[in-house]
Amino acid sequence: MKDKSNRNDKTLGVGCPITRRDFIGSTLIGTGAALLNGCTPKEQLNLIEKSNIADPWTGYGGVGDYSTSNGNTKSVMDAAHLIRDGKSAKMVANAKPTGEQFDMVVIGGGFSGLGAAYQFHAKAEGKTCLILDNHPVFGGEAKENEFQVKGHRLFGPQGSNGFMPPVGNNTLSEEVWKAVGVPMNYEFADDNQDFGMRVAHDSYEAMFWGEKKLDVGHLFQKNQKYQWQKNIWDDDLSRTPWSADLKRDLLKAFNGKDTAHSTEGLGPWLDSMTYQNYLEKELGLHPGVGEHMDPVMAISSYGFSSDVISAYGAYLLQLPGMNGYFKADTFDFESAKFMSFPGGNTTYARYIVNHLIPGVFPNSSFEKIAHGGINFDALDKPGNATRIRLSSTALDVRHKSDGVEITYLCNGKAEKISAKSVVMATGGWVSRNIVQNLPENIESSYRQFNHAPVLVVNVALNNWKFLEKLGFAAARWYDGFGFFGSIRSPMKVGNKTAPYDPSKPMVMTFYVPFYARGQSIKAQGAIGRAQLFNKSYLDYEREIRNHMNQIFGSAGFDAKRDIAGIILNRWGHAYVAPQPGFYFGGSDGKGLAAPIKKGFDGIYFGHSELGARMNYTNAIAEGGRAGAQAAQAAIS
């Protein structure tokens, strides 16, 4: 059995030299060169193999500043599980006070935490703010993976991805975008050469909203053989193997404007049922319509399948069956121009940090903020109004007579600091476990929050000739690993613009959902996290390489030859999954988030899951609201 596995690994290219060589560069040379004492590359490789420095669960992290922070790494997960499993009490009791006092402490360094710090800084100028982030790099899911392949620097998103430049000034995110100096106009590589393909500029658009204006392949099985069909909507699904009834109802749902309720009272009515029930019972559509949308719904915002998610959530995303409720002046997803920075929304997060903390990016040009190195020494510098303390896992937050006491774990030591107020800019599963003496109405709401996992995989390719041969850059399949993968046309970023040529390297990104149709929403969470966590990096590497060989092999793809590296980004609680009643339920009909947003005793809650859906806009809005609440407390 072992010999067969080894033979398969050799055929697939598992453990090929570039993966191990880049791992040396990122993990050892980049973060712990002193351990090597000037060893040669061969000696370094031997050290890795003998000392097991390469964590077999987290796996390869790429190169650059984000190489030790790809998703929830093993160290981050282990620290979080200390809290989940009730093992932090002794550390809290023995924690040593640092003597530091801040006007506000923010728990969480993603868009929500940065939004809180931005609003606090704007409304309480001169007051002090410390952000505690449990990862080695700030940004939450707005971080990137970096590869070095054949002399080219390649980037992929760890999670948060896709943006549209502000068109007004109607949201806090648009205000922040302009205030921190993010550019408004961009150019992409396919402006010059498109290789005969309509290619997306982000990793989401081709999944559904912009599919009809892009070239997308769908993979079907016929006579036990795989067969690609390009642009299946062009001829009304006639080339698909689906039944006539399903084709008819998919077209009706995607293109029609049928409604089942007036716009008055629409939200609460939709929130009283699942999306699946809405499609089947209210519109009378084939059950397969909801099943077709399951992975799109799961990846885009909600984590799970249509049979457990509120129909109002589908309305917010303008999913099939909802077209009839929107007016001509409603935001049109199909005509919108989605874009992505090379590393997803990482660049936007870096701009906010650059605005808040001087010296993190010494040169504030677009190219330097997008791709320049982070000056980590500047992040937690005494004297700065805003500071970020990395690799700091909050263990305990409690109200005291003179403010709020925060205990956190950093470098293996538990420490205590104090603040006039705290913003919990992290998910509800964290707040429930570390905020002491939660009021019953907040505790009750949080008990009803369900969270879904996701896996984001970036695969560095030596070339993408196989996609050029197939004639599309985005693909969906119906069995095997995940459901969708794509490349993007690179954004032009000065001299560090990634190449755009089928014969040159490129990153292909896979967003992988974990849902279990037919199971309860709580069961889907447990099943999904078990699936995400119970595989090693090597297990996933084998699965990905084998899957790509199977589906792309007919176009000349060979995993051993064509894959340069694979990075996994595991997010165990990526999304809040809104069940019916999430938006308009609760004791007052204002939704489960309403009592949480009020906060209590100097502790405020601001996270994207408290908004309508989870994205960077809502993250900044909710974090900013909580930051403004804390600012009011600081200046009153």
Question: 338-365, pLDDT tens digit by residue?
Answer: 899 999 999 999 999 999 999 999 888 9
Tell me if 145 sits within 8 A of 154, measured CB to CB. Answer: no
Kindly state the average pLDDT of the residues 503-508: 98
Looking at the predicted structure, is the pLDDT value of residue 404 above 80? yes
Phi, psi of 134 (to 5 degrees): -80, 0
51: confidence class by pLDDT, cuts 50, 70, 90: very low
Strand duo 129-132 + 386-389: pairing: parallel
Looking at the predicted structure, is the pLDDT value of residue 15 above 80? no
Looking at the predicted structure, is the pLDDT value of residue 47 above 50? no
* Distance (Å, whole) CA 564 – CA 572: 26
Looking at the predicted structure, is the pLDDT value of residue 38 above 90? no
- Locate all alpha helices (DSSP H) within 271-360, ordered by sequence: 275-277, 287-297, 311-316, 346-356
Looking at the predicted structure, is the pLDDT value of residue 116 above 70? yes
* Distance (Å, whole) CA 421 – CA 627: 10
Q: Spell out the domains of the chain, with CATH numbers in brackets.
A: 2-75+143-201+451-576 (no CATH), 88-138+379-450+577-635 (3.50.50.60), 205-325 (no CATH)
Using alpha carbons, select from 462, 575, 572 the residue that is nearest to residue 527: 572
Using alpha carbons, select from 218, 206, 214, 209 the residue that is nearest to residue 477: 218
Tell me if 299 sits within 8 A of 206, measured CB to CB. Answer: no
Using alpha carbons, select from 392, 398, 451 the residue that is nearest to residue 427: 451
CB contact set of 312 (below 8 Å; sequence gap of 6+): 267, 270, 271, 578, 583, 584
587: confidence class by pLDDT, cuts 50, 70, 90: confident
Give the number of other CB atoms < 10 A from CB of residue 408.
27
* Distance (Å, whole) CA 420 – CA 438: 18
Question: 366-390, pLDDT tens digit by residue?
Answer: 999 999 999 999 999 999 999 999 9
Looking at the predicted structure, is the pLDDT value of residue 105 above 50? yes
**What percentage of the chain has pLDDT greater than the value 90?**
81
Looking at the predicted structure, is the pLDDT value of residue 534 above 80? yes
Residue 80 to residues 72, 154, 393, 463, 622, Cα–Cα distance (Å): 10, 31, 7, 39, 23
* Distance (Å, whole) CA 215 – CA 232: 10
Question: 152-208, pLDDT tens digit by residue?
Answer: 999 999 999 999 988 876 899 999 999 999 999 999 999 988 999 999 999 999 999
Model pLDDT, residue 215: 97
Tell me if 105 sits within 8 A of 404, measured CB to CB. Answer: yes
Model pLDDT, residue 33: 31
CB contact set of 393 (below 8 Å; sequence gap of 6+): 76, 79, 80, 82, 83, 132, 134, 408, 409, 410
Give the angle 434-519-323 at the CA atoms, nearest 5°: 95
**What percentage of the chain has pLDDT greater than the value 70?**
91
* Distance (Å, whole) CA 338 – CA 427: 26
Looking at the predicted structure, is the pLDDT value of residue 483 above 70? yes
Model pLDDT, residue 332: 67
Model pLDDT, residue 79: 82
